[in-house]
Amino acid sequence: MRIGFTYDLRDDYLREGYTAEETAEFDAIETIEALETALVSLGHTVDRIGGVKNLTTRLTAGDRWDLVFNYAEGMFGFAREAQVPSLLDAFQIPYTLSDGLVLALTLHKGMTKHVVRSLGIRTPDFAVVSSPSDVATVRLPYPLFVKPVAGGSSVGVSAASHVTDAASLAATCRALLDKYRQPALVETFLPGREFTVGIVGTGARARVLGVLEVTLTGDAEAHGYSYANKKQVNARYQLVNDGPASEAADIALQAWNGLGCRDLGRVDCRCDGEGRPHFLEVNPLPGLHPVLGDLVILADLAGVSYTELIESVIASAGERMSR
């Protein structure tokens, strides 16, 4: 097929003056080259498009593709990840990974948790703080965990995210509101094991690729897979298949299908003090760095090569195209 390739290259935004943290979700050139190489090795012709503005220009000029491999994160707004899929829908061009509805919903962790809870899936109690005055309305027992409601790549997650009293909750929420200009998600803190579950496929064909346990090293910030821990690789990764991991896999697959996710992604879970896993969030646009991507690490440990992982995405999208 002739495959268009949409993405946001981090270096482009750095050249425009955005900071390293502001561009943390965007892709390194190594990822773009690895994805293109995998697609070409599968026999496809790849046309690099870039982000939504480039896509708009190309569509207006009359360009079309058999399929678009969508890996664009977008820059502004809660629906930033939905911009490219929505535009492709308008032009009736098929694309990989989840659609605009799913990407807009799942970027907002609070809205996602409302839906997940309505599906009967276990998730920590939570509140969304949209202004400093909202802190007084939070009625959750301490300790709590606080992060931006629509952040990615652990941006905004730090040692200060773990709060044990009202004063630290107010201070952390105020700092996040000021810095990231979006609401803060406040959740009951879960002290147990942390898993990320890789999922391949769509609907009845969706399956768990594996369950990766993330444990922090001695040099890591405490209490979570923070931005600093992720950036400094202060974590160890191990495939696990014990009882809690199997339960996390079941929870992840229920959430994946309940939310309508497609093709490939990750679901993060964490255990409470009794060892029961809870849904935390879903990433339907997973990081695919050929070395550092969590899902790529998981796949490698499960015996799935990078090219095979990308081939599974094309196969899943191809099933939709053939209907």
pLDDT digits (tens, 9 = 90+) for 191-246: 999 999 999 999 999 999 999 999 988 765 666 654 454 555 678 999 999 999 99
Pairing of strands 264-271, 194-200: antiparallel
Where does the chain hold its CATH 3.30.1490.20 domain(s)?
125-188
Tell me which CATH code domain 125-188 carries: 3.30.1490.20
Residue limits of CATH 3.30.470.20 in the chain? 191-321
Contact predicate 125/193, CB 8 Å: no
Positive or negative, the Cα torsion across 240, 246, 251, 255?
positive
- Residue 6, number of CB atoms within 10 A of its CB: 26
Cis omega before residue 290 (within 30°)?
no
* pTM, two decimal places: 0.92
Which backbone phi and psi does 240 adopt, to 5 degrees?
Answer: -135, 155
- The torsion defined by the Cα of 170, 172, 173 and 174, in degrees rounded to 10, comes to 80
Give the CATH fold of the 191-321 domain: D-amino Acid Aminotransferase; Chain A, domain 1 (3.30.470)
pLDDT digits (tens, 9 = 90+) for 129-176: 999 999 999 999 999 999 999 988 788 998 999 999 999 999 999 999
Res. 86: pLDDT tops 80: yes
Range(s) within the chain of domains with CATH label 3.40.50 = 2-95
**What is the CATH code for 2-95?**
3.40.50
